[in-house]
Structure 1
């Protein structure tokens, strides 16, 4: 749910009240008041200027404080959404609502629309302008459940249920979570960048060319690549082809030359192993208090009923098969993927004392797995 002119509509009085409610007061609150107030605006037409008009809303854009103040201003919205059983992600000028319900639920559409009505009302009371025309709705479900026959309504505007949306931080999600549209979009943009970089090749030494390829191409492959673990080979192949083309461009190899020796020369992990590296690093961080708690809550250590040799091997408890097969995409969920990938690691890597040591040993092990060394 995007907002219109989000930073320009924050009411100073409401914001200062929220800051005071958080425990700020005295000199600190006065300093923030002076940061917000005392600004004015005017309109100039030709050589004529209007009288200055004091600003009672808005935070200065470009300031390091402004995004933080905006998030504080929006914080109560999360409580409104959670009161209806939903969850949310609040970004600077965008809000995502996640609502889960059984496919046969008759109450879910009513509750969701009540939640959206409460959100629109909260926005009005807090002098924010929601933009229903740019709001997207996505129903993630089995194909047999997609003709549900209702539409979410936001501020009087019916939101069509789309088959795919730019839902989360630039990742293109679809109603079946196949990520096919996302992979195709990333591959298309990466090949376009490779085409441009190829024109620079005669003018750059290999090290500089490698830097450019990393900045413009492989960075696109690595962005959110934890999502690609477990994708069908047909889908993942599109991104593998990008990596192969990048390796051939840097090394000057012909199209017919095999990519495996090129990856070894460049010391690159193949695409599928790069994704695995990302997920296993996330698991290590979650288990050692270096990652978000919502991921740590999805996994737990295996604790056998009897004392066994494997008790001290830091293995994770696998997700029960009955749960993993509820939906086809469930097998790619973090709670299912994490135990499988983590338990496949040698015990020395699982028990690495630091993140740096873990990443170093993990890359060496994956390199051997990828190239059979």
Structure 2
């Protein structure tokens, strides 16, 4: 099945999200649902979590009846907000299938790491570790390659990560 046909095949997922006021992104076989709430409004968080739980169940039911599977173990749940609001949130759990899930500390979206306060510190640390790994590997083979080849390897392996 090609990408256009697959996109049309999974279109009901977007219909489920839209009909209940949930924003979404679908990228290949990855679906992301977004819902916002105001923690200063009593019951708003609980309503948002309940809506999300019911829609995930509805999507899971649709997927199973259409020979697709929502992988509960790979499903992540993420809450982003200001440090003040996050500090005042009570215990948050989302029911996905039979399991209760707590928010992830970081999530990866199109190779960018996000943390709950959206400061990108997790992404910077991820890049730092990745670049150090590549530099160590280049150091191991440096004696076997000339300077121009080393320069090209740095451009390909390290500069591309910074772009």
- Give your verdict on TM over 0.5: yes
TM-score of the aligned structures, taking structure 1 as reference length: 0.39
Distance in 2 (CA, whole Å) between partners of 1:202 and 1:149 is: 54
Q: Give the superposition deviation at 1:67.
A: 3.1
Structure 2 residue 133 is matched with structure 1 residue 221: no
- Confirm or deny: 8 A CA contact 2:92 2:102 kept in the other structure: no
Partner of 2:38: 102
Partner of 1:73: 9
Structure 2 residue 50 is matched with structure 1 residue 114: no
| Count of aligned residue pairs for this structure pair | 157
Q: Give the superposition deviation at 1:128.
A: 1.1
Structure 2 residue 139 is matched with structure 1 residue 139: no
Query: Deviation per CA, 1:321-370, whole angstroms, max 9, x where unpaired?
Result: xxxxxxxxxxxxxxxxxxxxxxxxxxxxxxxxxxxxxxxxxxxxxxxxxx
Q: Give the superposition deviation at 1:145.
A: 2.9
Distance in 2 (CA, whole Å) between partners of 1:101 and 1:128 is: 30
Distance in 2 (CA, whole Å) between partners of 1:171 and 1:77 is: 24
Structure 2 residue 98 is matched with structure 1 residue 156: yes
The alignment yields a C-alpha RMSD, in angstroms, of: 1.9
SS in 2 for 1:158: strand
Partner of 2:120: 179
Distance in 1 (CA, whole Å) between partners of 2:62 and 2:18 is: 14
TM-score of the aligned structures, taking structure 2 as reference length: 0.85
Distance in 2 (CA, whole Å) between partners of 1:220 and 1:127 is: 37
Q: Give the superposition deviation at 1:72.
A: 2.1
Distance in 2 (CA, whole Å) between partners of 1:84 and 1:217 is: 43
SS in 2 for 1:117: helix
Structure 2 residue 63 is matched with structure 1 residue 123: yes
Partner of 2:139: 198
Structure 2 residue 148 is matched with structure 1 residue 212: no
Q: Give the superposition deviation at 1:175.
A: 0.7
Partner of 1:261: none
SS in 2 for 1:89: strand
- Confirm or deny: 8 A CA contact 1:120 1:154 kept in the other structure: no
Distance in 1 (CA, whole Å) between partners of 2:31 and 2:151 is: 38
Gaps of at least 5 residues in structure 1 are 1-58, 60-65, 223-373
Q: Give the superposition deviation at 1:176.
A: 0.8
Q: Give the superposition deviation at 1:95.
A: 0.9
